[in-house]
A and B are shown apart, each in its own frame.
Chain A
């Protein structure tokens, strides 16, 4: 069966510090991968998605970047965090078959920037 992992679960970082959040998927190959951010009481904002190794599409101009160094690994990074980067970050995957079926989400990372 497929599983998706995210770490860390929670993170408190000072403004201006770097960020690296990692997401890995097991039990499937060539998945589509996604990074979302969810503000308190709000819906999900798509940040990045990837259909293959090294292929990253950005949905929203921002202080963040993403990379996919391996087929089942997706990394969200920042060189210098802003207060507005605080939020709940979710990684998800779906089968890479075009019009996707369901997305499978990781447990999320709660990021607080102070």
Chain B
């Protein structure tokens, strides 16, 4: 399968702590995207990082990309209860379809 795989599958932390989620993939990518899904809702795009980028920030979110290791990480700093959601990475592979391929996601629970 070409899809990215998130790790861990589930993560439970206390408010104020940092949350780190990882995504690994197997073939070269054009870009990698992170999405968030609240229970029973649609996905919301968080960050897109291109293959020639190594790090991007958006508010409390930090995404890194290591193309040599074929992996990406999403860091949420100073987490809040409202960050409770599932987080998905989606990979867009080079040289073919431009459609993002989604992993199975990491379920994050932030306890108040």
Asked whether B43 lies within 8 Å of A90 as measured between CB atoms, the reply is yes
Asked whether B48 lies within 8 Å of A102 as measured between CB atoms, the reply is yes
Q: In the complex, A92 Cα to B92 Cα: how many Å?
A: 16
Q: In the complex, A110 Cα to B41 Cα: how many Å?
A: 10
Asked whether A43 lies within 8 Å of B102 as measured between CB atoms, the reply is yes
Total contacting residues, chain B, CB less than 8 A: 24
The number of A-B residue pairs with CB atoms under 8 Å apart is 51
Q: In the complex, A92 Cα to B45 Cα: how many Å?
A: 11
Mask, B1-34, CB within 8 Å of A = 1, is 0010000000000000000000000000011010
A107 proximity list for chain B (CB < 8 A)? 41-42
Mask, A38-49, CB within 8 Å of B = 1, is 000111101001
Which of A44, A99, A104 sits near B102, CB closer than 8 Å? A44
A100, CB-defined interface residue at 8 Å: yes
Asked whether A99 lies within 8 Å of B99 as measured between CB atoms, the reply is no
Asked whether A100 lies within 8 Å of B98 as measured between CB atoms, the reply is yes
B33 proximity list for chain A (CB < 8 A)? 102-103
